[in-house]
Amino acid sequence: MTAMIMHRQASTWRDTVLPDLCRNSLAAGLAFALHGVVLALLVSGWSVEMPVPDQPMVLKTHMVMLPPAAEPDPQPEVAAVQPQAIEPPPAIPQPAPPVPVPVPEPAKPTVDPKIQAQKLEQAALAHKRVEDKKREQQVEKQQQLQAQQEQREAEEQNRVQAQQRQQEQLALQQKNAERARQAAERSRQQAAQAAADSRQYLPLSKEAPDYPQRALDKNLEGDCTVEYTVNPQGKIENPKVLDGCHPLFMRPSLAAAQTFRYQPRTIDGKAVSVPAVRNTFHYRIK
């Protein structure tokens, strides 16, 4: 069996009301008022929910077949039950779309060209001051960095100079110590040599020189050193006066040195000469 559904055409709000709105000014005013209300509701956030149409109800029938009887009996005809068409609910008239209301643009304020020029000039001056301040800060920062660099270089130079002075002082101390050691070694060698010489060529006779009369008259005192060579016979050869002797003391000093006698030095049992022997005469008035 076939189910048939018939829909009835619903009349719209525009088909019934629009001609009347055109002919009746009161109806047109009400329509504009309604539009304004709808527009206000839309602006305030109101929205229209579209109703969901109900599903049409369908009546379904089933044919039941009975088993045949023993005797063929005429079967009554079963009339098909025609389902009644269910009319859908009438459509809800939809409101007309709101008419946009033009919003007037705000009038632009008029700006005085002089005031605008002054503002631009002030902005340029402010920007220039900011740039000048930045440059001054950069210059000051560079000067500080340069001063710090110079201070570090000065400190490093002072440290290097202090190390150099310390090394020089240490080297000088070492040099003085070496000189003192060498001088002590020479003194020891000279003392040992003098002791050996004194053991080998001892003076046998030494006469004091005569004090010069002229020196006595002038109350002169002094020292005079005479250098000479002791020959293998123990006598004096080539006597000479060293520097620093007063002229009045030279002659008596040389004369006294000529009278000196020594025990000759012997090496391997043979007498040898001893050069650079010195003797100092002290002239004092008592």
Q: What is the pLDDT of residues 31-80, one digit of tens each?
A: 788 888 878 777 776 555 565 666 666 666 667 666 665 555 555 554 44
Per-residue pLDDT at 251: 92
Q: Which residues pair with 281 in a beta bridge?
A: 224
Q: What is the pLDDT of residue 156?
A: 92
Buried b (16+ CB within 10 A) or exposed e, 218-257: eeeeeebebebebbeebebeebebeeebbebbeebbbebb
Token readout for 21 is 């709105």
Distances (CA, A) of 261 to 41, 105, 199, 203, 273: 155, 145, 15, 6, 13
Residue 225, beta-bridge partner list: 280
Q: For residue 277, how many other CB atoms are within 10 A of its CB? A: 19
Half-sphere exposure of 67 (CA within 13 A, CB side): 2
Instruction: Give the residue from 131, 91, 110 showing the smallest Cα distance to 10.
Output: 91
Q: Residue 226: enclosing H or E segment and its boundaries?
A: strand 222-230
Residues of the chain with pLDDT under 70: 1-24, 27, 45-62, 64-111, 193-201
Angle (nearest 5°) at CA 270 between 265 and 274 = 30
Which letter does DSSP use for residue 234 in this model? S
- pLDDT at res. 117: 86
Single out the residue of 85, 98, 30, 95 nearest to residue 57, CA to CA.
85
